Amino acid sequence: MNDNPTTAGEIFELLEGSWQGEGHGSYPTIESFNYRERLTFTLRDEFTLAYEQRTEMRMQGSDEYVTSHWENGFITILENEALELVNAQSGGRGEVLTGKIEVLDSMIRLHFVSKTMMNDARMVATARRFELEGDQLRYEMEMSTTKVNHLAQHLSISLERVRA
């Protein structure tokens, strides 16, 4: 990235498009797994970025993948360039997260922490981090549940921009 963006809107323009890659999931209460994902960002207006995240999990001992997670949401620019991420997930859970943007040399980081969760009594808190560097987007998700009382890493993936 040659020119550093200065506003959330400019960063949204850099994220717009489709991204895909393969990642790894784990959590203290589940068996680790590999997955692949397609993440698509669409500018809705100067303050809103819509997204769709579709995930397929690799079956243990197989090359076969099955749909495991699907979510849709919006990232909105609030006052003072703060961000809000609102989503609905295929399992019925919904989340509202608040976030901020950091511009670090050639990398842009969006970091979100949960504010509200709906329809999943097991969930206590989540955190998400997107790191954009050129045509590579790294994504990590941490969560805390009623069985694990601290934020523990759940997902880690590196995605590349899909060129038309």
Q: What residue spans define the domains of the chain?
A: 8-161
Confidence band of 103 (pLDDT split at 50, 70, 90) = very high
Q: Nearest 5 degrees, angle CA 130-CA 46-CA 161?
A: 40
- The structure tokens 């890659």 sit at 21
- Rounded to an integer, the average pLDDT of 65-81 is 93
What is the β-pairing status of strands 107-118 and 17-27?
A: unpaired
Confidence band of 80 (pLDDT split at 50, 70, 90) = confident
- What is the pLDDT of the chain when averaged over all its residues? 94
**pTM value?**
0.92
Domain spanning 8-161 has what CATH number?
2.40.128.20
- Rounded to an integer, the average pLDDT of 127-156 is 97
| Contacts of residue 62, Cβ cutoff 8 Å, sequence gap at least 6 | none
CA distance 5 to 40: 20
